Structure 1
Amino acid sequence: MTYRVCLVCMGNICRSPMAEVVLRQTLTDRGLGDRVTVESAGTGGWHVGDPMDERALTILEQHGYDGAAHRARQFTRDWFDRYDLVLAMDRDNLANLRRIAPSGVEVQLFRAFDPAAEEGAEVPDPYYGGREGFEEVLALVESASEGVAKHIADEID
């Protein structure tokens, strides 16, 4: 049985695809890659079909990750049935997901699994900034991915 995770941000071209690539690698490094599927999506649909933001892709590549295959998708209500874990990058997208979630479905913040993060910590949107914002996002998702991987390992073992 495959455990399925979806990471969600606004447009699915910066934060959530970066987190998808990093979490997938983290899980692979821990021997869980064949038991977990990691995907990402956005709450908005204006980038559907677009590749990852070039700045995000460049930062990932410079740190040894490959995000070239990514294409943006939009998360819809019927997707909740597909996933065991749905994680939002920020409180706005968390609220958007909770608004459409079926009764009893829990959605959490991605950084809730980062032991170094304060309660309610978010992954900030780097879209309107420069390189440093994308570097910050990478550092945050790398840190949180460790905790998410531990959580998933506990869930499936």
Structure 2
Amino acid sequence: MGFGALSSDDATPFRISFVCTGNICRSPMAEVVLREQVAHAGLGRFISTSSAGTGDWHVGEQADARTIEALARRGYDGSNHRARQFDPLSFDELDLVVVFDRSQERILKAWAHRNRDRDKVRLILSFDPEQAHLREVPDPYYSDDAMFDTVLGMIERSSQALFRQIAPAIRQGVR
């Protein structure tokens, strides 16, 4: 997926939402990781990140403690996260909706009422040629700390690949 020159004036940043199942493990990780990459590159005004879940089980809760701990071990702060459920009306406000497994991909594409909105839904590993063959990031929720670290590593690599694809188009649009 090429992004071409992206409009990135102050009024309309490129908006990305990461969506997993409960919005307490994978999607908060990706939101925090990409936000940090964007800030480090000085593009915080031009790229907006958020996250949500397909389900409503954890709405209002912090990220899973193991998520916060895994992020902290790598120097990220996930303590301010509060879970929310994805609102299908958000498609109009988003440029890209990134999911972690095929189940989420099916749900989000079913919630999208237009082809252009379905086209916004992408699996996170699809951005990283070295991990694309895996297709899905496993849900660490029923696993141990080591799996949270593994999942975070997968998300970091994929987020870096996504950022490498978006950043040049954003920079071109800024000029």
Q: Which TM bucket (shorter chain)?
A: over 0.9
Structure 1: where are the runs of 5+ without partners? none
- Please give the per-residue CA displacement for 1:33-77, whole angstroms capped at 9, x wherever unaligned: 221110000000110000000001011111100011100010021
**Cα deviations across residues 120-150 of structure 1 (Å, max 9, x unaligned)?**
6211100000011100111001100111112
2:31 corresponds to 1:20: yes
Provide closer, same or farther for how the CA distance between residues 98 and 120 of structure 1 changes in structure 2, counting only shifts above 3 A: farther
Q: Stretches of 4+ moved more than 2 A in 1?
A: 154-157
1:109–1:120 CA contact under 8 A, matched in 2: no
Partner of residue 39, structure 1: 50
Task: Give 1:112's aligned residue.
Answer: 126
Residue 154 and residue 102 in structure 1: after superposition, are their counterparts in 2 closer, same or farther (change >3 A)? Answer: farther
After TM superposition, the score normalised by the length of structure 2 is 0.86
Secondary structure of 2:18's aligned partner:
strand
Alignment-derived partner of residue 50 in structure 1:
61
Tell me which residue corresponds to 1:139.
153
Percent of matched pairs sharing the same residue: 45
Q: Between Structure 1 and Structure 2, whose CA radius of gyration is higher? A: 2
TM-score using structure 1 length: 0.95
Q: Letter of the aligned partner of 1:52 in structure 2?
A: A
